[in-house]
Structure 1
Amino acid sequence: MSTSTLKYAYFPGCVAQGACRELYQSTGALTKALGIELIELKKAACCGSGTFKEDSQLLEDTVNARNIALAESLQLPLLTHCSTCQGVIGRVDERLKDLHGKDPSYVAQINGLLQKDGCSPYQGTTEVKHLLWALVADYGLERLEKQVTRRLSGLKCAAFYGCYLLRAQKSVTYDDPFQPESMENVFRAVGATPIYYRGRTQCCGWPLSSYAPKESFSMAGMHIQEAIASGADCIVTPCPLCHLNLDSRQPEVEKVIGKRLGLPILHLPQLVALALGISPKELGLDKHVVSTQSVLAKLK
């Protein structure tokens, strides 16, 4: 794909249009500043965040085959900015591409269901790509670095990859699923210092939060404390569900672990857009539960 004409079918997902509206804002601001065109898939459905397959694998596959087919009809890659959406939709795409050869009748069954709904068939002709991969592989870090107008020098950033981005699919083309570096490389490109700590590739605890909140918040608290102990000024995540557990639930986390934390949690596009000179207000940095003022103070 030519770096001068980057264009994607944009799948914003549910959380970025609801509880984490600032992610939707900052993705729009960042891609506009970089000259990346997004065609939002207004007719797309929730990916199910991994729950559909607990009832029916066919349900998860059909819903997300439809999402992918919407992008295919535009002849564009499907862009997500949610690790969970990436993991679920990417996994379905991977499965169905494999089944095209091994079990074409299953893919035909899915396409029959899509046809009944008046949808285009799934063909397996595009790619599901997270915003992180688009920045690293399509836009390019050297090009990104040239766009920086406010180097984030002195800001120490701890990545929190979470589970789905790295290990939901059988293969991760753009990084090592156990020793990733893509987010840290983005940090370096915008002038920030990467902080490494044990929990950066582990689960945030969100999947447990509805039925085992104490255990969920203990997990989140452990990761946040490790990041603080390693010297982080903030955690940066490519997943809004991780953001919910680490930011909006941080007051509850503090109660469970009996310790004050106060560590800001940024969405990936917020961090990058700050380095491009976009205002904190435009990026929704005033919408977080944990104040981001300590991060902004480092940039003055």
Structure 2
Amino acid sequence: MVSQTLKYAYFPGCVAQGACRELHQSTQALSQALGIELIELKKAACCGSGTFKEDSQLLEDTVNARNIALAESLNLPLLTHCSTCQGVIGHVNERLKECQNSNPTYIDQVNGLLKKENCSPYQGSTEVQHLLYALVKDYGLAEITRRVTRKLTNLKCAAFYGCYLLRGQKTMLLDDPFQPEAMENVFRAVDATPIYYRGRTQCCGWPLASYATTESFKMAGMHIQEALANGADCLVTPCPLCHLNLDSRQPEVEKVIGQKLGLPVLHLPQLIALALGISPQELGLDRHIISTKPVLEKLGI
């Protein structure tokens, strides 16, 4: 059992408060069910999803130093449920911690800009953690299994990690960036069946969508086709941007590849929360573009 209440500075990110509000909703429902306390960083800014550095590395570092400093002011680790936010903010945190020893002048520059906006300085005193790894490392899969009231028996789940979560940072202590198992171990913890396929660790195509839409949709279509070919009942992703390309745009993907797909795509906290007995309505499963009814029917919900 978890010996004490886990507490995090919660960075929901932009997409979970906009196009994927069901992710924010299900994360809150799951954390409440598990007894995890989330203190939302309401003053946090968009991480930039990797685009700020195209104009200025200093811009990306300063914006996200501010986000990290908000968590530091609470003396808590920063928790996100977005692979992209994890990759961007986590990498900024890595780089700035290195600069504290190798280039302290740069840290002074970043903190000087923060001071002009009356923001707390970056100290390098906390960590950036994705919900997936907080559940695996801090909470524990055995404890999740203990709390399961609705086993997801016979549900075949194909993970889609998102490239930022796996390879956005220099170091990844809890998983192999090319052969990860964290998601599949979560599936086993709730009695679901992991489905392995080539695309589970690759890019969903979202970064290409604004300037190479056809290629983006072909990438997404290829991954969905492979998951279906391997028997998946659903994709499960820890990244809302991946969710947008794989779920929200799946009808457009179907037109590009000339094939009907119809594969439901769940957010990671939705899947776990279902196993804890939380209702589909509380998890926003009716908000998806591709209907999640086949998943619920297979589970007898």
| Superposition TM-score tier, normalisation by shorter sequence | over 0.9
Alignment partner, residue 239 of structure 1: 239
Structure 1 residues 77-123: Cα deviation after superposition (integer angstroms, max 9, x where no partner): 00000000000000000000011000000011000111111111000
Alignment of 1:1-300 (within 5 A): 3-300=3-300
Deviation, structure 1 residue 3: 4.5
Deviation, structure 1 residue 5: 1.3
Judging changes above 3 Å, is the alpha-carbon distance between structure 1 residues 121 and 212 closer, same or farther for their aligned structure 2 residues?
Answer: same
Whether the aligned pair in 2 keeps the contact of 1:3 and 1:139 (CA below 8 Å) is no
Structure 1 residues 153-173: Cα deviation after superposition (integer angstroms, max 9, x where no partner): 010000000100000100112
The one-letter amino acid paired with 2:161 is Y
Work out the CA distance in 1 between the residues paired with 2:152 and 2:298. Answer: 8
Work out the CA distance in 2 between the residues paired with 1:283 and 1:4. Answer: 26
The one-letter amino acid paired with 2:207 is P
The one-letter amino acid paired with 1:189 is A
Deviation, structure 1 residue 4: 2.0
Work out the CA distance in 1 between the residues paired with 2:210 and 2:3. Answer: 42
Structure 1 residues 49-74: Cα deviation after superposition (integer angstroms, max 9, x where no partner): 00000000000000000000000000
Work out the CA distance in 1 between the residues paired with 2:3 and 2:39. Answer: 17
TM-score (norm 1): 0.99
The alignment yields a C-alpha RMSD, in angstroms, of: 0.6
Stretches of 4+ moved more than 2 A in 1?
Answer: none
Whether the aligned pair in 2 keeps the contact of 1:187 and 1:193 (CA below 8 Å) is yes
Work out the CA distance in 2 between the residues paired with 1:167 and 1:115. Answer: 32
Work out the CA distance in 1 between the residues paired with 2:131 and 2:191. Answer: 19
The one-letter amino acid paired with 1:80 is T
Which structure 2 segments of 5+ residues have no match?
Answer: none
Work out the CA distance in 1 between the residues paired with 2:122 and 2:298. Answer: 48
TM-score (norm 2): 0.99
Work out the CA distance in 2 between the residues paired with 1:10 and 1:165. Answer: 17
Which structure 1 segments of 5+ residues have no match?
Answer: none
Deviation, structure 1 residue 174: 1.2
Percent identity between the two aligned chains: 79
SS of the residue corresponding to residue 289 of structure 2 reads coil
